[in-house]
Structure formats: C-alpha cells, structure tokens
Copies of this chain bind each other. A is one copy, B any other.
C-alpha cells in the first residue's frame, strides 16, 4: 500500500511540478502576441556566388517586405492581410522568382502560380499558369474570397480575374535579363552544351512565401512563384497546391514552402508538418526538422519552409546551402539570413 501511495504521489508531482510557475504568472503583462516569417526561395545560395551589393539588395528587400507585414500585425491587422502585402513587396521586386523577375518556361514566357490559406476558416485560394496577372497572390485571395472554388488555372483564372478588379500586365513586364540567361543555360544543358552553372543550380528555386499570426490568434500562409526555369507541358509545382506548398490551420501552424516542387507534392510537406503537430503533439520546430531533414531529404528532395505556430514561434528550415529568409518579432527585432547559419 505504502508503495502504491508513493507511486501515485510521484506521478502527481511529475505532472504538477510546473504549477508554481503558472500561479506566479497569473497576471502577466499584456504583450500583444503576433509574428511573421518570410522566405524568398531556397537553393544554392552561397557567399562565394554573391556580390556585396547583391547581398545588400536582398537584405534590404527582405527587410522591407517583413516590415510591411509586421506593421500590419502590430496595428491589429489580420494575418491574411499581412501575408498578402508582404508577398506583394517580393512579387514586385525582380530579385525573386515571383511576379516581376519570375523564371521563364520553355517558351520564354513567365507562367505564375500562387496560393493562400486562412488558418481560421481553412478556406483557401490558388491559381496556376497565369501569364498576365501583376500580383498572382492577389488573384489567389480573390479565388478564396469571391468564388466557390479553391483552384483556378491558366486562361480560365485570368477570365475570373477580369471580373474581379485585378491588375493585368503584359507578360514582358515580368521578364528580366537574368531570367533570360537562366533559360538559355537550361536549354544549352538540355542540348549537351556547357552551360552557366550558377543559373543552372538555381533553376528550380526562388519562390516567395510568408506565414503570419495576428493578434486575434489567426494564422495564414501564402506562396507565389514562377515555378521552374524551362518548364514544359503546363507543369504545376507545389506552390499552388494546398497541403504541399501552402497550409494553415489555427490548431497547429501556417507553412509556406520553397524548393523542388515535385518532392514537396509527393511528401505533402506543408500539411505533413501540421499533421505531426496535431497528431503527435510535437512542436513546430520538431515537426519541420523531421519533415525537411528526414522525410524530404530521404526522398531526394531539396528546399525548405518557413512556418509559424499558434503561439507565434517561427521556424525557417531548409536542406539546401541557403534560403533567403527573415522574421521580425513582437519587439520589432529583425532577423535576416540567406546562408546556412
């Protein structure tokens, strides 16, 4: 009997040893809880391939993008709005593979995909293969908010856009000299001609994305991309696929992915991280590490994700040499990185 009591007492102590801390923090100072994290693509991003001025340009644009979303959240705006406006900054910059500066398909045309998910309602919107939408993420929002559908594609998505106050541009608006060179290198390689390795090594990467938590406890995630250089046959990658490139659920986390899309689709990466948290009770950090460093890596996939959980903890996990990424916390402290550490 004595042993039984001792055993019960031990269990009781083990399960309650945090109680005194809890009672001490009964009335903690009311710091608003929110957070935001972004990526501008993962890939062979190495210091030796980067000039100082290019590095500075990336840092400044990442800082600008994260600050736009952070300000919205600080002012009490929604995670959904923060994600959209943050992604707009990156879509409008030629530095990233989304909107202006998107990579070119085999026909030399920019063909854009995007998606968004609302963690509160689990509503979502996605578009694939549009060629004349200045900010593809804006169209994904319209699909989510103003249609019965989740995913619209190509010219059909553009028809829908015409009915919904979306800015159109010529395809030439998106095209930069760098992306033309990348396409040339990719085609040269296909034909067995020696090609520029710098462009080749990055042809699968550069997507932008954002995940945010607002002061009401709502999560959202969005992703926008030009896909893969020299893509053919109407290829759709993971960015517009809910569950693969984008996922948000207030119970767990919000995730945006970047990398070799085919592997992210096969691993259902964004949803898998959320499912591990929900069903195994592990942290976002643990789940992201397992999915990216084990499951994705085991299958031969490369890339990364950014994510934020319902408590505002952020993660930026990748298995490539680098990933453009930034986060800004409640105190306004910014972290901007591009290499492994």
Contacts and interface: CB of A to CB of B under 8 A. Distances in A.
A242 B271 contact: no
A51 interface: no
A299 interface: yes
A154 interface: yes
Contact of A149 (B149, B151, B244, B262): B262
Given A160-B232, A235-B149, A268-B268, A122 B299 contact: yes
Given A149-B233, A233-B149, A266 B160 contact: no
Interface residues of A, number: 45
Interface in A179-194: none
Interface string A166-201: 000000000000000000000000000000000000
A275 B267 CA distance: 11
A247 interface: yes
Given A149-B233, A150-B266, A280-B280, 20 more contacts: A3-B3, A122-B266, A122-B267, A149-B262, A150-B265, A151-B241, A151-B265, A153-B233, A154-B234, A155-B234, A159-B232, A159-B233, A241-B242, A243-B244, A243-B265, A243-B268, A271-B272, A272-B275, A275-B276, A275-B279
B243 A147 contact: no
Nearest to A148: B262
A145 interface: no
A249 to B, nearest CB: 10
Interface of A: 3-4, 117, 122-124, 128-129, 147-157, 159-160, 232-237, 241-244, 247, 261-262, 265-268, 271-272, 275-276, 279-280, 299
B233 A147 contact: yes
A234 B156 contact: yes
Contacts of A160: 232-233
A157 B154 CA distance: 13
Contacts of A241: 151, 241-243
20 contacts: A3-B4, A122-B267, A123-B266, A147-B233, A149-B233, A149-B262, A150-B261, A150-B265, A150-B266, A151-B265, A153-B234, A156-B235, A157-B233, A241-B241, A241-B243, A242-B268, A243-B268, A243-B271, A268-B271, A280-B280
A23 B167 CA distance: 71
A129 B150 contact: no
A276 to B, nearest CB: 6
Contacts of A151: 235-237, 241, 265
Contacts of A154: 129, 153-154, 234
Contacts of A149: 233, 235, 262
Nearest to A159: B233
Contact of A275 (B232, B235, B237, B271): B271
A235 B272 CA distance: 25
A185 B151 CA distance: 24
A266 B242 CA distance: 7
A25 B236 CA distance: 50
A124 B268 contact: no
Nearest to A240: B236
